[in-house]
Structure 1
Amino acid sequence: MQSQRDSEQTSDEVIPESVRWRVLAVLLAAIVMSLIGVSIVNVALPSIQQGLEASQSDLQWVLSGYALTFGVVLVAAGRAGDIMGRGGIFIIGVTLFTAASIAAGLASDATWLNVARFVQGVGSGLLNPQGVGMIQQYFRGAERAKAFGYFGSAVGVSVGIGPVLGGLLIELGGVGLGWRLTFLLNVPIGIATLIMAFAWFPKPLFSRAPGATTGTSQRALRTALYMFRKLDPVGSLLLGLAVFAVLFPFMEARSSVLTWLLLPLGLALVAVWVRWERYYARLGRSPMVDLSIFSTHSFTNGALIMTLYFTGMTSIWVLVALYLQQGLGKSALQAGLVGIPAAFISAYAANWAGRRVMVYGRKVVIGGLFFAIAGLAASVAVILLNQGGHLSVWWLLLSLSLIGVAQGSVISPNQTLTLAEVPLQYAGSSGAIMQTGQRIGTSIGIAVITAAVFAALSVASWPVAVTLGFGLIGLVMLGALGVAFKDQRDRVKDNGAAARR
């Protein structure tokens, strides 16, 4: 099929094993850079406020601006990689992210910093779906699960180590320089990633449309128009606007009634986008997302599990940081250190689960969700016992380690199972659909759960308020667990039907 040649579709039979693993090393370097760039900023906010005399609204957009542009471009970027070549789009994303990191580190005021963060979000949105798509493209079966396991290990370590690095850099550099170093740290990683990409990525980095050759400007124009149609510009615009409308009310600190009207508008735009994608497919063209993938149980269930997981679990680290710093008066560095054991356990668990997920299937994810619920319950017990003077708060190092097991056992294995039956020509856009669900879940979860905690603080203590927050997260995890059990039943049913045929 021609559509399978739209990206740099060099099959894994042609790509030597050593090249595949070098490609993975490049992808992981970029993922580590982008995730450290996200988690490190959280501990730098007070220094940014002091160094740039930034307002609370400015600080809100240091976080929200990045997340917003990241979420808006994800699916379109995934589809662009499917069609034009994942390697080339990846390199553009890394270049943008690195250049924006330099701009952020040199920012002279809050406006400059926030513009740089918007561009960082675009760069991250371009490179992330290519990582998932290229793992789908170059790896198969158990080897793919192993690659996603390494992917999950990189996620666990980078998310955990980011706040610690941020705390160290701020202590070393002081208020004036420390927060700038948290952005400039990305620059050597980004440059090294680009060098490795140009050296190790299979060529060509970009594909060309059928019949396109180097030559006349007329041919170049026809090629550009062909690519533009294949990208489904109307569908890309509709989905981008829909994601923006859904995310914005949860990210704007001063949301008004009018702002919240964007939420139903976003849902309406999703409905319009679905109708457009079906119409575009009936015309015989390639829509940005093959909607038939939603009829595949493994994809739909897996995407829902991931959305629910991120709706709940990303709030844990926000609540822990708030509790330790504002509730107990700990430093940013101490608050970062509490997540280190969980990060390394997450890395090990992801690697372990990646090697076994093809054998045990959805049971790995189900086990991980049970660990998440156990970790929440144990952390609540530590917080309440600490309030009564019966236990040191540093027992959180142990209870949160159960959360680390959950992260390693859920995220990468679920990704492997969810994308297993997705057609390769839609690997990038399908992976981006999952990541968009993660971004929406993260934004909604953090907004709703932290709002509930701060509301509780007006009538209760920090331990009680955090317990309420953890309870809400637990309810969301139970929902994810229910979907995981449903997927397990669906798989048994589908396998039984296939055997009867």
Structure 2
Amino acid sequence: MPPDPATPPDLATPPDPADRRRWLALAVVMTAAFMDLVDVTIVNIAIPSIERDLSATFGSIQWITAGYALAFAAGLITGGRLGDIYGRKRLFLLGITGFTLASALCGFAVSAEMLVASRLLQGAMAALMVPQVLSIIHVTFPAHERGKVFGMFGAIVGLGAVSGPLLGALLTQWNLFGLEWRPIFLINLPVGIAGVILGRKFITESKAPKALRLDVVGVVLVTVAMLMLVYPLTRGRELDWPLWGHLCMAGSVLVFAAFVAYEKAKTRKDGSPLVELSLFKMKSFAAGIAVQLTFGVSLGIFFLVWTLYMQIGLGWTPLRAGLTGLPFSLAVSTAAGLSVQKLVPRFGRKVLQAGALTMAAGVLLYRWEAGRYGMDISTWQMVPPLVVMGLGMGLIVAPLTDAVLSDVPRDHSGSASGLINTVQQMGHALGLGLVSVVFFGVIDGRTGKTPAAVATAFGDGFQNALWWVAAVLVGIFLLMFALPKRRVPETGAAPQPPERDRVLVG
């Protein structure tokens, strides 16, 4: 995609704070991030309709859902680095264009094979688009404004987390123009086209000020390592956890180690590695990445088990299940905005730790209600624990991203953003793998043939999984002691030079 002739391609300093264009640019990139978040979850609701319409096999159905995640996770680090090298605006526009075209291919797929291939392409394009979102925010807004911006970003994350299933349920149930499931993909077309047009106009180009080259060997090593880890986790239960899957996951550790060794050598040789390992010397970045990974595990477990519990265990319709999640979404959005604008500047790290404990308390309350009310539990009885969980999650998601990027120089913001998204996806994959142990391990062989037996088995599995989620959240609380303690008060002063930007200090 050709560079914007009106904007110098090497611009890496934020625009004048009075420039309102940056808020329009923020709206564009956040819309793209929301589109990606929704697309991750919207497909699950429509799977029965897709299966009937395309006569898809069980294996194809698995790949329709897992192919996106695999392509997305494998390409995130590379996508972030490409933005540093060739320009974040350029890669964002390339990614959103490809994502929109892939969505059209998904919507007009004539076979299960075509849909699988289109989902793989969609995930690969998302891997180019998504890392640029945080990078563009990081280089566009001065340090004293980023708290407000990341609060908005956290609200978008919360909204996207549960609106996908609801939107998928509505679009499938409405059967617009007789298209059944296809609108869940076609809805991306007007959004993506608008994003391309407005992005070209309002996003300011930026890239690393020093010349960087793409580390091809690093790309191959990290992609192979990610696939060796994520693929067996995705297909493990379906294939009854074969030996090759365990060997593959164990081997991924060796490949990751080889990747780190090569990146160190690459840094010494020409200073242009795929991953800037010096980022991990920053306490805020290293600790934040560890928390992001662990937090991803808890969310990976909860959201899948929660969906299965409501729709299969309790027999609820997709629409009822989607509506039940709305209080959670609203709570996340509300708390995310308050956390970075009002609470973190005053209380610092304690806000994130309070969020972990609050979310754990909501999980335990949910477990108690599931045990007390059984299959008679109602939507209204689920609202209190979901609100508590949402408030806790909102206190974490926005300030955590702020903390991870606080000390990162702008010339490495793409690589850092790619790492943030990658560890989130790795955490989700690990959480999904654990579902086979903490949930399916409880219900296997117990479902019987009656609705009551199914509800009892799924209720027990749900309660067992919630114990694990609560334990992981307590672990996150302990990990957060490694985060910086306090946030610098916002004085309204001009932002410091990029290499000295500080949002959180130890």
Q: TM-score, normalised by structure 2?
A: 0.88
1:61 aligns with 2:60: no
Unaligned regions of 5+ residues in structure 2, if any? 1-6, 447-455, 489-501
- Taking a change above 3 Å as real, the CA distance of residues 86 and 146 of structure 1, as seen in their structure-2 partners, is same
> What's the offset of the Cα at 1:36?
1.3
Structure 1: where are the runs of 5+ without partners?
Answer: 211-225
Amino acid at match of 1:24: L
CA contact (8 A) 2:225 2:253 kept: yes
Picking from 225, 229, 237, the partner of 2:220 is 237
Contact 1:23 1:201 in 2 (8 A): yes
- Given that residues 325 and 335 in structure 1 are in contact (C-alpha distance below 8 angstroms), is that contact kept between their aligned partners in structure 2? yes
Partner of 1:42: 44
**Counterpart among 254, 267, 288 of residue 274 in structure 2:** 288
Write the distance in 1 (CA, Å) between the matches of 2:92 and 2:45.
28
Q: Distance in 1 between matches of 2:179 and 2:93?
A: 29
Matches for 1:27-426 after TM superposition, within 5 Å: 27-173=29-175, 177-202=179-204, 205=205, 230-252=213-235, 253-254=238-239, 255-356=241-342, 357-387=344-374, 392-426=378-412
Matched, 1:487 2:474: no
1:137-158 CA-to-partner distances (Å, cap 9, x unmatched) read 1112231111111111111112
Distance 1:490 1:141 in 2: 15
Letter matched to residue 372 of structure 2: L
Inter-partner Cα distance in structure 2 for 1:424 and 1:116: 34
The TM-score, its normalising length taken from structure 1, stands at 0.89
What is the count of residue pairs matched by the alignment? 471
Equivalences for residues 490-501 of structure 1 within 5 A: none
Summarize deviations over 1:105-163 as a string: whole Å, max 9, x none: 11111110010100110111111110011111111223111111111111111222221
Q: Secondary structure at the match of 2:180?
A: helix
Select 1:431's aligned residue among 411, 417, 422. 417
Shift of 1:284: 3.3
| CA apart distance, 1:382 | 1.6
The Cα shift of 1:447 comes to 2.0
> SS of 1:461's equivalent?
helix
Q: What letter is aligned with 1:302?
A: G
Whole-angstrom distance in 2 between the partners of 1:208 and 1:489: 29
1:448 is paired with a residue of what secondary structure? helix
Paired AA for residue 369 in structure 1: A
Q: More deviation in 42-51 or 169-178?
A: 169-178
Q: Residue deviations 1:363-389, cap 9 Å, x none?
A: 121111111101101111221121285
Question: Structure 1 residues 394 and 175, CA, compared in 2 at 3 Å: closer, same or farther?
Answer: farther
Q: Distance between the aligned counterparts of 1:122 and 1:88, measured in 2?
A: 16
Partner of 2:428: 442
Root mean square deviation of aligned Cα: 2.5
Which letter does structure 2 place at the counterpart of 1:343?
Answer: S
Q: 1:308 to 1:176 in 2, by over 3 A?
A: farther
Letter in 2 for 1:95: T
Which residue is 2:495 aligned to?
none
- Residues 295/231 of structure 1: CA separation in 2 closer, same or farther (3 Å cut): same
Task: Indicate if the aligned counterparts of 2:10 and 2:208 stay in contact, CA closer than 8 A.
Answer: no
- The answer (yes or no) to whether the contact 1:152–1:347 under 8 Å persists in 2 is yes
SS where residue 12 of structure 1 aligns? Answer: coil
Over 3 Å counting, the alpha-carbon distance change for 1:476 and 1:206 in structure 2 is closer
Report if the CA contact (8 A) 2:42-2:164 is conserved: yes
